[in-house]
A and B are shown apart, each in its own frame.
Chain A
């Protein structure tokens, strides 16, 4: 299948700082990228959907000013967690898809720990 690379795989940051997570589609053009959050032993919670060149669509209850999403090119989307707090500690996963009918391929995830 297609390859989606997510970086970093693990990050520890201090409370109040910002963290940027990158999601790259390596061998296809991702017209749409998705960002998820996952708590231990739980399902994926969709945070936002981003289409290349346009503003992200956030799910209800997700603070767009706190979780900044940029999808500047067809191969890169970034999620910036601003002013991180310990409750933001979680596993963040991106996925990328070409077109509306394509399969979504997932990055390997980023374990964020805010101390």
Chain B
């Protein structure tokens, strides 16, 4: 079965510093990986995806993620955090064997302080 894990419930970063939100995955076959962001009382917004190709994927709002096959990781990164980046971040993997539904990690709350 496909799964993703986000080992940190919360990440605290100072504005202007780089941020990393961690995600590891477990899949059979090639992984289809996604990052989404959720602001309070809102749905999820798509940030970026990895299907194939370059290991470094660039997405919305200056975010990027690095696919690392040997470490089975797909960490989300941003060189310089903004206070407005504070939100709940979800890593997800597509379960190809079950109709392509998304399997979500437990979420990581990012807090960026001025």
Number of interface residues of B (CB under 8 A): 21
**Contact flags B1-40 to A (C-beta < 8 A → 1, else 0):** 0000000000000000000000000000000001010000
Label chain A's interface by main secondary structure.
strand
- CA of A41 to CA of B6 in the docked complex: distance in angstroms? 14
When the two chains form their complex, are residues A44 and B104 in contact, meaning their CB atoms are under 8 A apart?
Answer: yes
Which of A11-19, A70-78, A103-111 lies at the interface with chain B? A103-111
Interface string of A11-39 (1 = CB under 8 A from B): 00000000000000000000010100000
Chain B contact residues: helix, strand, loop or mixed: strand
Contacts of B44 in A (CB 8 A): 44, 93, 95, 106
The answer to whether the Cβ of B102 comes within 8 Å of any Cβ in the partner chain is yes
Which of B42, B88, B101, B107 counts the most chain A CB atoms within 10 A?
A: B101
Q: Kindly state whether residue A68 has any CB partner on chain B within 8 Å.
A: no
